[in-house]
Amino acid sequence: MANDTKERILEAALEMFSQNGYAGTNIRELSASLGLVKSGVYKHYESKEAIWNALLDQMIAYYADHFGSAEHLPPVPDSLDGLVTMTMQMVNITVHDEKIIMTRKVLTLEQFRDVRARELATKHFLTGLTEMFTRIFTGMMDKGLLIKDDPAMLAFAYTTPISALIHLCDREPEKTEDAIGQIEAFSRHFIRIYGKKPRTGLVLNTEGEIEK
């Protein structure tokens, strides 16, 4: 029962922090939204800062379980189409999962106030994605699916526009469907440029030489 109450407190805190920010959320309002008195919240968390830190811990675990990370990689795709499929699965989770949407809003709001939020924002919006796809692209190069190139630079080039379009969905939800379409089109454009085409046979040119 106590664990259920702690979870409810974090869920309510995430919703309030995403709407009002940390400074704009007070324990009295948080307690009232749960049908508790302030002492009922303090029984589980000694302060608003304790709630905040527990929420950040939960954010990290939730992202890793539902989206992946450099430490929790999804399987390396076995085909170029597999990269598109994996990418779109990730995108659909991140733009439709309410918890992830609220988490992204909280980090966007609080990255200028809280050092830990800033570090998590950098990781989830930039470096973590780059690291994850660097490893994925390395694996795809090893499988002969992508041309040999700097996997870190390819990962940066791949994830940056996708991340920008996801943030567009947060700012202007009415553009979500168009943004998802743009991401899929970009992913397919990427594999046309960097995908390694299998050689199905040798072709001779008009001079009898093997075409490369």
**From first to last of its 212 residues, what are the pLDDT tens digits of the chain?**
567 899 999 999 999 999 999 999 999 999 999 999 999 899 999 999 999 999 999 988 888 887 766 667 789 999 999 999 999 999 999 999 999 999 999 999 999 999 999 999 998 888 989 999 999 999 999 999 999 999 999 999 999 999 999 999 999 999 999 999 999 999 999 999 999 876 554 444 444 343 54
What is the distance between the alpha carbons of residues 2 and 15, in angstroms, rounded to a whole number? 20
Torsion of CA 134, 135, 138, 144, to 10 degrees: -120
pTM: 0.81
- Determine the pLDDT at residue 60: 87
- Within its chain, how far is the Cα of 179 from the centroid? 15
Q: Tell me, what amino acid is at 174?
A: E
Q: Where are the domains of the chain?
A: 1-58, 67-196
Query: The tokens of 194 are what?
Result: 């960097």
Q: Which residue has the tokens 């001779």?
A: 204
Could you tell me which residues come within 8 angstroms of residue 211 by beta carbon, excluding any fewer than 6 positions away? 202, 203, 204, 205
Q: Which residue has the tokens 């075409």?
A: 211
- Determine the pLDDT at residue 199: 56
**What values do phi and psi take at 22, rounded to 5?**
-65, -50
- Determine the pLDDT at residue 186: 98
CATH architecture of the region 67-196: Orthogonal Bundle (1.10)
Q: How many helices (H) and strands (E) does the chain have?
A: 10, 0
Q: Tell me, what amino acid is at 69?
A: S
- Determine the pLDDT at residue 69: 64
CATH level 3 topology of 1-58: Arc Repressor Mutant, subunit A (1.10.10)
